[in-house]
Structure 1
């Protein structure tokens, strides 16, 4: 299968370099310079993955990411000159699957693109081969539809919130270290700190105040399900 990637970047030099490396690896690419153009592309010829700059004229990358996530779980790799940890966490929490800081190695970007496609395909295989529905106490998760229900009421969650809830629900009552959760949810090529895990748990607890998502002090977290 020849994957099709949308590159949203207003720097033509970066556009051309990234496109050249991806084409060399057999990917089809489409170049756009603004989020508005990207939305038009999404409506007419949606890519299999986005490579998205944050600092764009007009609508910024964060807003574009939010809009795409309302409709789809298509993979998104964020590239940005912002290297503060809070910016990385925000990008990931708004639905980005990976984050690269400029300047970056085009070869590293290509490696991350390949890895993300592999993970996406593996996840589809798991859903196809296994049960689509996971129930853990009052938590109900539909994997294929990526929908979460708590006590019968649907909860609007981000990509990472969904991934965390699904993983904990599939391994109820098991304690995971922050490092394990970071590697599982963000991938072993994520170089941020484990604060991202704490921030993600905080957001889940805010959306589902009664969820038995426990802190294992000095270690990590678990979803405790009685009975």
Structure 2
């Protein structure tokens, strides 16, 4: 069992900021692990991943963007990015790479704690609802070479079992449950991330890109100016 599931990892190369964040989280009875580099954080992810990340962007060596991308390519876990960069482009990039929130330095530690609580509650609701809003009542979903078994939380592409994150699995159940239907990005955000999602709808594009990389040949099409659909391939 992963003992770090309820731990918040705080990654910032400024020890004073890191200690301040951890102190405020401790006041709210959160457990934390503080780290000064993305490389150290990546080692933690590979060995005993925490349940949430507070992640600075400007780090020595690997930056926070790359660490966020690596984590999000493997799993779904709440990520709040913090940075002295207040440019809108930087915020959008962080959100597109998969962060759930973005906070600009200097910030109030109380505000960060409030955002941590909000993200944890949102993720808890998302995990509880999981596939309920997207799936018809059936033992499984099959579309072409794609087979999804929601009760077992297993997925197969062309006979090969695939490792998918929670969001990857959920968005595929949306498509497989409604073949040939075109969904807007806003609809997919509501299904998968929930109505209270803070970030950009480009998060959908990033998720689709990851799925296509894992499932080469999947008939998941872009609908220009609208969103995405999965074709029901005949024959």
TM over 0.5: yes
Say yes or no: does 1:219 pair with 2:226.
yes
Any idea what the Cα deviations from partners look like across 1:103-136, whole Å, max 9, x if unmatched? 3554453344334333443454456999896433
Picking from 137, 149, 155, the partner of 2:144 is: 137
Matched, 1:19 2:19: no
> Does 2:79 align with 1:76?
yes
- Alpha-carbon deviation of 1:20? 3.4
Q: Contact 1:92–1:160 at 8 Å: present in 2 too?
A: no
**Who is 2:198 aligned against?**
190
Q: Is 2:152 the counterpart of 1:149? A: no
Q: What SS does the corresponding residue of 1:164 show, helix, strand or coil?
A: helix
Q: Once the 2 structures are TM-superposed, how far is the Cα of residue 100 of structure 1 from its aligned partner?
A: 0.6
CA drift of 1:5 comes to 0.8
Q: In structure 1, what is the Cα distance between the partners aligned to 2:66 and 2:111?
A: 25
* Gap regions ≥5 residues in structure 2: none
Residues 80 and 99, structure 2, Cα contact 8 Å, conserved in 1: yes
- Equivalent in the alignment of 1:181: 188
Partner of 2:40: 37
1:117 and 2:120 are equivalent in the alignment: yes
The verdict on how the C-alpha distance between 1:137 and 1:90 changes in structure 2, with shifts beyond 3 A counting, is farther
Greater relative contact order (CA < 8 Å, ≥ 6 in sequence): 2
Distance 1:176 1:80 in 2: 33
Structure 1 residue 142: deviation in Å?
5.7
Count of aligned pairs: 224
State TM-score, norm by structure 1: 0.68
Cα RMSD over matched residues?
4.2
1:135 aligned counterpart, secondary structure: strand
- Specify every segment of 5 or more residues in structure 1 that has no aligned partner in the other structure, as ranges: none
The answer for the alignment partner of 2:58 in structure 1 is: 55
Residue pair 2:96, 2:206 contacting (<8 A) in 1 also: no
* TM-score normalised over the length of structure 2: 0.67
More displaced 10-residue stretch of structure 1: 178-187 or 49-58: 178-187
Question: Does the 8 Å CA contact 1:9/1:56 hold for their aligned counterparts?
Answer: yes
> CA contact under 8 A between 1:8 and 1:52: conserved in structure 2?
yes
What displacement does 1:184 show? 4.0
Query: What's 1:100 paired with?
Result: 102
C-alpha distance after superposition, 1:14-47 (max 9, x if no partner) = 3234223322332112222112333454567542
SS at match of 1:100: strand
Mapped contact 1:21–1:106 kept (Cα < 8 A) = yes
